[in-house]
């Protein structure tokens, strides 16, 4: 997201504009804050922005402290606009409420209350008890969407699951021979690489790993690569797959069922390669709820599911998708592989989605949607 330099922001900005600015600042750190929320802060005095900041990375200064360090004059008597309630507990950094009070801030505008039980309104209470005026709710919808993954994770302990599918206009993800390279444009693929960098983990099925032989990295489009999860009944992945030959820092993990005499043995494991053995359902497939619980315990907050059709369908049937990213290329395949298969449904029982945004990237139509 492009952020205008603070010098271009006019004197007549209103409260919601300052908050939007804080949210825009927060967005710049997506993918860098671990299980912490994305937070931005703007300090305003006499109608002018005198300081801005955001939470840059996990373990670094929080947005409020970053903004206070960046002020060009004393913040005493100023107002602060922050996209999330200031923290009031000791973690990797001291409480932001202490820094705000010490700086002499006179008024705080919070977009939303922090759902973290260690905060949960306590930061607001502490600030008010210190004589600071606090308002809550400005740009709350935008702030909630900014931190939708954090909100789910902090409340449930489960990752926020995004399903990303690249399809033709007639809903196919591959031709009848299984070829899928390339359905979408180069610009769309670059955008997907950025999304991977912003995700903690990417998940595909074993068949997709074997047939497509993907890397599932950010290809240099971001500052980091995600953990790469391969979901498969079979507990074996060929050592020749790029997921393993290109493996860095032990980021490729096979997710399979418990070890048993019937399972194929895992071959020589490359350095850093790991296996998650999880409970299975009645059909012998890895229990996806258990997978999400296990991933959450390993601080995976954002999970990007990239295929294939069996994996998509399994997550959808279990109602485990939080967000859909449907990338549609202006192409027709006719016969080919569909990305969602289910038992036949009558039209009045069709899975309903709520479209939130549509936009074009490289000639492809991107649809962001949520389950109704």
Q: Which are the catalytic amino acids?
A: 64
Q: Which two tokens stand for residue 353?
A: 């989605």
What does residue 317 show for φ and ψ, rounded to 5 degrees? Answer: -60, -35
Residue 15's DSSP bridge partners are: none
**What single-letter DSSP state applies at residue 105?**
-
What strands lie across the sheet with 133-136, from one edge to the other?
48-54, 40-45, 79-82, 107-110, 133-136
| Element (DSSP H or E) covering residue 97 | helix 96-103
DSSP, residue by residue, 171-210: SEEE-TT---TTSS-HHHHHHHHHHHHT-SEEEEEHHHHH
Q: Which has the closest alpha carbon to 265: 234, 286, 231?
A: 234
Asked whether the CA dihedral 310, 313, 315, 317 is positive or negative, the reply is negative
In 10 A of CB 129, how many CB atoms? 10
Q: If DSSP codes are grouped into helix, strand and coil, which group holds residue 261? A: coil
Q: Which has the closest alpha carbon to 271: 294, 247, 290?
A: 247
Q: 148, exposed or middle or buried, with CB in 10 Å at 0-12, 13-18, 19+?
A: middle
Please tell me the distance from the alpha carbon of residue 15 to that of residue 20, in angstroms, as a whole number: 9
Task: Write out 210-251 in H/E/C secondary structure.
Answer: HHHCCCCCCCCCCCCCCEEEEECCCCCCCCCCHHHHCCCCCC
Asked whether the CA dihedral 226, 232, 237, 242 is positive or negative, the reply is negative
Helix 96-103 / helix 122-129 crossing angle, nearest 10 deg? 20
């Amino acid at each position: 997201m492009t952020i205008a330099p603070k010098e271009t922001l006019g004197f007549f900005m209103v409260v919601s504009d300052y908050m939007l600015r804080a949210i825009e600042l927060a967005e710049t750190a997506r993918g860098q804050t671990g299980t912490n929320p994305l937070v931005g802060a703007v300090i305003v005095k006499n109608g002018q922005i005198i300081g801005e900041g955001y939470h840059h990375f996990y373990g670094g200064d929080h947005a409020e402290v970053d903004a206070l360090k960046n002020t060009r004059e004393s913040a005493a008597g100023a107002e602060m606009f922050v996209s999330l309630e200031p923290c009031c507990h000791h973690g990797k950094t001291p409480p932001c409420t202490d820094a705000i009070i010490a700086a002499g801030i006179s008024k705080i505008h919070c977009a939303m209350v922090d759902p973290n039980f260690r905060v949960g309104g306590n930061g607001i209470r502490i600030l008010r008890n210190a004589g600071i005026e606090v308002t809550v709710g400005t740009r709350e919808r935008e702030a909630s969407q900014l931190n939708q993954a954090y909100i789910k994770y902090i409340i449930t302990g489960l990752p926020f699951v995004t399903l990303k599918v690249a399809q033709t206009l007639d809903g196919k993800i591959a031709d009848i021979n299984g070829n899928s390279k390339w359905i979408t444009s180069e610009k769309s693929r670059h955008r997907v690489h950025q999304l991977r960098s912003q995700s903690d983990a990417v998940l595909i099925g074993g068949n997709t790993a074997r047939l497509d032989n993907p890397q599932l990295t950010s290809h240099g489009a971001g500052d980091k690569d995600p953990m790469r999860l391969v979901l498969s009944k079979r507990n074996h992945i060929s050592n020749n797959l790029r997921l393993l030959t290109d493996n860095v820092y032990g980021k490729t993990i096979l997710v399979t069922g418990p070890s048993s005499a019937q399972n194929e043995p895992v071959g020589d494991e490359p350095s850093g390669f790991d296996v998650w053995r999880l409970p299975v359902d009645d059909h012998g497939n890895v229990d996806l709820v258990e997978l999400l619980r296990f991933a959450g315990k390993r601080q995976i907050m954002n999970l990007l599911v990239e295929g294939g059709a069996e994996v998509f369908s399994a997550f959808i049937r279990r109602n485990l998708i939080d967000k859909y990213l449907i990338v549609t290329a202006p192409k027709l395949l006719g016969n080919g592989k569909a990305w969602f298969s289910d038992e036949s449904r009558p039209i009045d029982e069709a899975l309903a989605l709520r479209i939130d945004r549509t936009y074009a990237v490289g000639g492809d139509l991107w649809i962001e949607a949520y389950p109704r």
